[in-house]
Amino acid sequence: MDKMYRLIIFDMDGTLLKERTIFRIAKEKGFLEKLISIMEEKIKPYEKTILIAKLLKCMDIEELIKIFRKIPLNEGAEFVIKKLKEKGIKIAIATDSYQIFALDLKKRLGIDFVFSNELVVKDGHVTGEIKICNNEPKFINCKQHSICKKEILNELCKKLGIRKEETIAVGDGEIDICMIKEAGLGIAFNGNEKVIKNADVKIENLAEILKYVVD
């Protein structure tokens, strides 16, 4: 029997968006090689997040937002969010990208909640510092990533009075696995084999999510 879902959490980069925000910015601002070098370092993901933020130091935030807005949405993103909202399902974004960009997408799509890392901005320019989501006391400190999407799912369930079984989580990366496994329905969107293995279903178009939502 199909379940009635009340909350859906999306990853942002590579799931709602076709590209990864920091890679698009790196290409346009000319620091792609430095970014790739950090990504290849044998350090924990949250440490990479801190180092990558330093690459943005002194950059104009309005220019970065303009670059962000050039990133196309994945096919079906606007349609599926519109339909989910019509069904009264709460929608959240959980991303290890930056809050200022996630909030911009939240406004554009009518998302209910956003959880992300906060890029520190002063006088309209990035300082190079970042406040990672897992430093917030209400979240259990993840020893690997800058954000624990499983804890975000549980926090939202508590806030909204929703059972885990009534949630859907959608993502494409290994950072999404914890929430994919925790949700009532875990969906791998074009993820690698490890992500797919930990998901309940795999989809290639976001509109396929609507098959699992009861009218």
Element (H, E) at 157: helix 149-160
Which residue in 13, 96, 172, 176 is the catalytic one? 13
Which residue in 2, 11, 112, 215 is the catalytic one? 11
Q: Measuring CA to CA, which residue among 120, 115, 151, 119 is closest to residue 133?
A: 115
The 8-class DSSP code of residue 210 comes to: G
Q: Alpha-carbon distance 85 to 97, whole Å?
A: 24
Q: Measuring CA to CA, which residue among 79, 75, 102 is closest to residue 13?
A: 102
Cβ atoms of residues 92 and 157 within 8 Å: no
Catalytic residue check, 11: yes
70, with CB counted inside 10 A (0-12, 13-18, 19+), is: exposed
Catalytic residue check, 13: yes
Q: Which active-site residues does the annotation give?
A: 11, 13
